[in-house]
Amino acid sequence: MCGIVGYIGTKKAKPILINGLLRLEYRGYDSAGIATMEKDGIKIVKEKGRIANLDAKEEINSLEGTIGIGHTRWATHGKPSAVNSHPHYDNSKTFAVVHNGIIENYHELRKFLEDNGYHFLSDTDTEVIPNLIHYYYKKEHDFLKSVKLACDDLKGSFALEILCNDYPDNMIVVRQDSPLVIGKGLNEIYISSDIPAILSFTKDFYFLNDREYAVLSRKNIEFYDNNLNSIDKMVKSIEWNTASAEKDGYEDFMLKEIYEQPNSIRETIGSKLSENKISFTDFEISKDYLETINRIYIVACGTAKNAGLATKATFENFCKIPTEVDIASEFRYRDPLINEHTLCIYISQSGETADTIAALKLAKQKGAKTIAVANVIGSSITRESDYCVYTHAGPEIAVASTKAYTSQVVLLNILALYFAEVLERVPALEIDNIKKEIMDLPKKAEITLGNVAEIKNFANTVYKETDIFFLGRGIDSYVAEEASLKLKEISYIHSESYPAGELKHGPIALIENDVTVIGIITNPKLVEKTVSNIQEVITRGAKTLVITNQKINDEQFYKTIHIPEVNPCLSPILSIIPLQLLAYYISKEKGLDVDKPRNLAKSVTVE
């Protein structure tokens, strides 16, 4: 959602902050602003709309300070406007704050502050924070202690950067259920919501846990726990290539990331599978423990949830353990049946998805073991879980996830096979055969990307449509769900996915002349049934595209795209690629902003 950046060093802060905000555009926003520490105190410049609007303001060029904070806002409380943009002052302009998250009790805090003589200029929940800090500062006259006392009163989620006129060489940052990273350079420090925003400046990062504080100066960082006891933090080196956060000649990040999939799949495989041997050095799970597990939950949101659905069958078929896939925002509120005999796997590309982290904490409270699957080292979900495993997709900038999804499906399949080897419930030869097929996936992904001309042509014929439907059976129905989501996200075309066998139970009523229906057929056991279902929509006038690796009569469909043959449990890794490209090219035909679709953000860090 919102994005924050910060800088404290010897260079002019303004261009660094603007650069960082531009790199956070993919998170989604409606306004932006920065504050810098000038010789005569904190100065704020902010504006509604794009960062270019902010950078075009005349007064921003007068900012010379070497300490500053910046923010891209996603409106929650108060409409998008310059006055509701961050940063926010307190009434005395002693403090300036930027805030990611939501303060759930801001109404009562605002009433308390108004009763104590404070007034408010904006409609935001954030404006209570600098004024609350000031309220305590009048009593304590101590920057850190005042921030801590204010945070004690806050309910909800927050990542904060705070400047104080009386401490012109310092900045304080703190987080609770909202992402924040601190990058360490030579006599300079960078702060951001996401690593890619500051990756070009440093590869050395500190990660705060909830309710931990960092007091920053140009040469030093002091860390404190929630009781303000001094604590030590280990720096972590992030080996992402800075070029992976650039477009590198591609028109859009999404297209670049689609084409990066052979490599991201290869890197993810190489981290766990080599010479037919699966190795999880991150953790070891014993046969005795796995034999006590009577249920696996895979919990996630959006595309990550679809990755879980795509691998449910592998866990069940090879581990012989019932596996459920659930939406994190539903899971956490329905009192799921979890105990010490439950294994819970949580998937999040960013590792900061609020509902997923909350669902993980719930499972731990109920005694279950938890495994986090994430793409970002040191992210919140990896620190909260009992075990964590990383995909190796590299930075994913486009809002619509592509390479993260295929990397997640690859890694979850390898994890399921690892459990299967430990449990010894299926013949070793079956597992070895799947391993060999996994090793061939990068090459097959490259072959699949060769269909781009056919996909472009089909996109050109359907981009003006208002409804598109996706069909599949078994695992293919879950790929249909992900393909439908991709199309909705970036083209704004209404689309739905259905298990093909459900057509006659209602959805076929939606089929009329010339509507587009996309079918996925990758399981040899389900070819005849799925073809029969697609024939039913053809007889009612539908225009059909079929993605398949099976031998079928192409002439019966409007268009058929063939992909390499692979074991059905691995087919989602290949069959989704042409459908990612289809969504991309439809969006381009419509002239839309592919990387930053309306109303969406890359990381959903609040409920």
Catalytic annotation, residues: 2, 602
Are 115 and 79 in contact by the 8 Å Cβ rule? The answer is no
DSSP 8-state assignment for residue 170: -
Alpha carbon separation from 134 to 163, 335, 392, 432 (Å, rounded): 12, 40, 44, 64
CB neighbourhood size of 173 (10 A): 25
For strand 323-327 and strand 342-348, is the pairing parallel, antiparallel, or unpaired?
unpaired
Which stretch of DSSP H or E encloses residue 23?
helix 13-23
> Quick one: how far is CA 90 from the chain centroid?
32
CA distance linking residue 379 with residue 350, whole number of Å: 7
Alpha carbon separation from 216 to 182, 201, 416, 577 (Å, rounded): 10, 17, 43, 44
The residues, ordered by sequence, that sit 6+ positions from 312 with a Cβ below 8 Å of its Cβ are 298, 323, 324, 325, 478
For strand 3-8 and strand 67-73, is the pairing parallel, antiparallel, or unpaired?
antiparallel
Alpha carbon separation from 457 to 460, 462, 582, 586 (Å, rounded): 5, 9, 9, 10
CA distance linking residue 351 with residue 353, whole number of Å: 6
The beta-strand segments (E) located in 393-490 are: 467-472
DSSP string of 432-444, one letter each residue? HHHHHHHHTHHHH
CA distance linking residue 451 with residue 376, whole number of Å: 31
The single residue listed with the structure tokens 């990758």 is 522
DSSP 8-state assignment for residue 276: T
Structure tokens at 442: 């990068």
Are 271 and 392 in contact by the 8 Å Cβ rule? The answer is yes
Are 27 and 602 in contact by the 8 Å Cβ rule? The answer is yes
DSSP 8-state assignment for residue 83: T
CA distance linking residue 99 with residue 172, whole number of Å: 12
For residue 388, count CB atoms less than 10 angstroms from its CB and return exposed for 0-12, middle for 13-18, buried for 19 or more: buried
Q: Is omega for the bond preceding 87 within 30 degrees of 0, making it cis?
A: yes
For residue 112, count CB atoms less than 10 angstroms from its CB and return exposed for 0-12, middle for 13-18, buried for 19 or more: middle
